[in-house]
Amino acid sequence: MPGNSEYQYNQFLPKTPSIGGTTGAGVDHVHCSFGFPNSELFLIKELAEAAKNATLSHGHLALHYPGGPGTWNIRQWIANRGRSRKIKSNPSDILITAGAGQAIDATARVLINPGDEVWVEAPSFFSALRAFEIAGAAVRAFPMDENGLQVDLVQEALEFATFNGGNLPKFIYVMPNFHNPGGVNLSVERRKQLSSLAIKYNFYILEDDAYADIHFNQGVLPAIYSFAPERVIYIGTFSKIIGPGIRLGWTIANSEILQYMRLFLLGSQTNPFMQEIIAGLLENIEFDKYLNDVNQRYVGQLDVMIHELGRYFGDEIKYNKPSGGFFLLVKFKEKVDVSALVALAEKKGVSVVNGKEFYLNGSDVNEIRLCFTYSSENQIRKGIERLAEAYKEMKHATANVEV
């Protein structure tokens, strides 16, 4: 009977559920896990006014099907903003997406045929790894150091593949600024080198720049896009600066790529109504001042986190202090059962993410990722204390076993 055979879903469906999103923990719980902004910084009043005004001014048009790459106002703002990273673009080079997530997914769908290679950094953003996997890509990872992706190793691999008839990548996915989870920046020299390789070996660079505006003590380096506009698909988002719930991001790329991406968006093109609201908001606030306030707050929270880590963990951990972004990647010098530590910390009232989520094959890496943006300074103090308690208990238990 055909009715008894097992139903066959898509062969690339992942076996494990996706991680991310809010958790249902109690009020006192400290969230240092996912990349949420601090709710206290949300521009609620300004946004409420913008929402009302945009509906009244643009409603009749914005309530219809968008049918295009996004509203003009918001793409114009993005084009202007890009200049701070040396990106020369016009609104016509920009496609609005539902956050960076949809941009990553659509790019994967446009570029990948099952079996194609995608090269990534190790570690890398878990949702991107998931999107490449779902598209059927063979993903290969390259190590990073304090200056980001080790582009020399990428070059060697490209040369080796060319010489030996191996597979070249369809694209290389990188986060050059305030890397998630690594917290480091790709040096300008390496940006140039990677761009040259993309041109020489005919692959795309998928440049995920979600955290560019969250910087604490410097400007932002020029985007990889600025060195090879034809070979780079640049992704930005309002999630980290206005709020993820509005689900608005953007892609800057050549017209061929944008045209193909739009085919995949079909009916799920991005909400023009929301775009007009945010364009109105951006017009009515002093964006750079607001951003400065946000970054002041975040660097304060980062300093508290680092201070508390020093107090409780001393020399037992190491990390690269980030100069922006949302995350601190902490490595334990001694071997720890990180899965057990994360579970115990959760019980004690603090969430952190197991570092293995950011690597292919999920092998244990003795790391955890801490988000310093969502929780207040006081919550962070509590959170690190709880993490330290969990860590001590585990070490103690292990020591007892060894005796």
Q: What is the largest CA-CA distance in the chain?
A: 74
Distance CA 323, CA 148 (A): 13
Cα distance from N-terminal residue to C-terminal residue, the chain: 61
Stretch in the footprint of a copy of itself (CB under 8 A) among 41-49, 138-146, 182-190, 319-327: 41-49
The site string for a copy of itself over 197-216 (x = CB under 8 A, - otherwise) reads --xxxx--------------
Residue from 30, 112, 232, 302 that binds a copy of itself (CB under 8 A)? 112
In the region spanning residues 335 to 394, those forming contacts with a copy of itself, defined by CB under 8 A, are none
Q: Does 269 bind a copy of itself (CB under 8 A)?
A: yes
The minimum distance between CB 279 and a copy of itself, in angstroms, equals 14
Give the single-character DSSP code of 244: G
CA distance 89 to 107: 19
CB of 225 to a copy of itself, least distance (A): 18
Residue with smaller CB distance to a copy of itself, 243 or 317: 243
CA–CA distance, 216 with 299 (Å, rounded to integer): 6
164-183 positions binding a copy of itself, by CB under 8 A: 168, 170
Q: Is 127 in the site for a copy of itself (CB under 8 A)?
A: yes
Contact yes or no for 309/352 (Cβ under 8 A) = no
| Spatial CB neighbours of 364, under 8 Å, sequence gap ≥ 6 | 338, 339, 356
Q: Which is nearer to a copy of itself, 226 or 373 (CB)?
A: 373
Residue with structure tokens 């604490």?
Answer: 216
Residues, the chain: 403
Does residue 271 bind a copy of itself (CB under 8 A)? Answer: yes
**Contact with a copy of itself (CB under 8 A) among 90, 167, 268, 378:** 268
Instruction: Assess contact for 284 and 276: CB atoms under 8 A.
Output: no
> Does the footprint of a copy of itself cover residue 307 (CB under 8 A)?
no
What is the side-by-side strand order in the sheet with 367-371?
A: 317-318, 327-332, 367-371, 353-354
Q: Which of residues 51-110 bind a copy of itself (CB under 8 A)?
A: 51-56, 59-68, 97-102, 104-105, 109-110
246 near a copy of itself (CB under 8 A): yes
Q: Which stretch binds a copy of itself (CB under 8 A): 175-183, 217-225, 268-276, 288-296?
A: 268-276
In angstroms, what is the minimal distance from the CB of 63 to a copy of itself?
A: 3
In angstroms, the Cα distances linking 80 to 69, 229, 288, 307 are 17, 16, 13, 38
Q: How far is C-alpha 156 from the chain's CA centre?
A: 27
Q: CB of residue 62 vs a copy of itself: minimum separation in angstroms?
A: 5
Nearer to a copy of itself, 63 or 153 (CB): 63
